Amino acid sequence: MLEVNKTDPLTHGLIGAALATLSGHPLQLNDPVFLGCTLGSMLPDLDIVAHVKGRLNYLLKHRGVSHSLIAFTGMSLGLSAILYAIFPTTSWSSIFLWTLVGTLSHGLLDVLNSFGTELLWPFFRKKFTVNMIMLTDPVVFSLFLGSLIISYNLPNVAQESTITTFILGALYLAYREKGRVKVRNDLMSVYHLKDKGEVKVLPAMYRPFSWNFLLLQKNFVRFGTMRHQTPVILRVLPQWDNDDPLVLSALEGNLAELFEQFTPYYHLVTEQGANDSCKVEFLDLRYWNKGNFLYSGQLVVNEDGEISEEIFYSAPNQEGILLSY
């Protein structure tokens, strides 16, 4: 089963290790500052334990409470207390500071990809994202893996290596942003659009130098990808009618609540079913893989206008998860 809703924990760990070199402490497993910064950078992804209650529970819990600023602080305090108890000769403040730096780096990296993170939980449940990079970016991973190798083998230049890596990473992100703006402008020119809000440019799955896009127009939503600087439309979806009784019924269900929490880019498609029933399909427009959207859902509204079934699909062509209510 595809796992695309989290950034590679190894990338988080590499960034934490790189940040630890800035403290002046050695890259050693018996150094609490190095351990705090590195482990702290991976600690929020322990929300994977939510998987024991099923994949759907994990998808809803991931990047939620555990990825908030409050949780980052609490995790840092807890991990620092453990490390200080094991290594009491190092000051508590140093351990906590660099552990907090590590956990905060986790949140920053997660904001860069399209899954986002609930930084301001519990005050604001929206997931923040800047749609900059894929969930696992090979360029970012390679940069920080190279930095770790250099820092470990040449400790005298560890800080210089880390600073250089962060500069290169910033330049890469600037290049990504420049490319995204160019894609948006090209799309507006090709499709004769005047409002920037009609275009959403998203990182493409598994293709670090490619972009997908959404064209949000009055009657249709078009999903496509850029191939060799040429836009290719992959799916055309009719805009849903907010006054349609079928849509109103669907938006009252658990599936609507799930998608509202799960993604900022979801879409509804209605169709007539058998025996006077109707179907409503929910689509998460962020991830496209092998000719279909990765996450989707379907509900059935019976002839009395009541929801009789709701199913969430975590991958195309796989058995769905029946929602209970």
pLDDT at 252 over 50: yes
Residues composing the chain: 325
CA dihedral 56, 1, 222, 220 (to 10 degrees): -40
Identify the sign of the CA torsion 111, 115, 117, 122: positive
Chain centre distance of CA 2 = 14
- At 5, the pLDDT band (50, 70, 90 cuts) reads very low
User: What pLDDT shows up at residue 2?
Assistant: 43
CB atoms within 10 A of CB 105: 19
Q: Who has greater pLDDT, 13 or 121?
A: 13
- Per-domain residue ranges for the chain? 9-176, 193-238, 245-322
Assess whether pLDDT exceeds 80 at residue 175: yes
Looking at residue 304, what is its pLDDT?
Answer: 82
- CA-closest candidate to residue 119, choices 130, 128, 129, 106: 128
pTM: 0.87
Mean pLDDT, residues 36-63 taken together: 76
* Rounded CA separation 182/59 (Å): 32
The radius of gyration of the chain's CA atoms, rounded to the nearest angstrom, is: 22
For residue 116, pLDDT beyond 90: no
Q: Residues 6 or more apart from 5 whose CB is under 8 A from it?
A: 59, 62, 63, 115, 135
- Cβ count near 176 (within 10 Å): 20
pLDDT beyond 70 at 128: yes
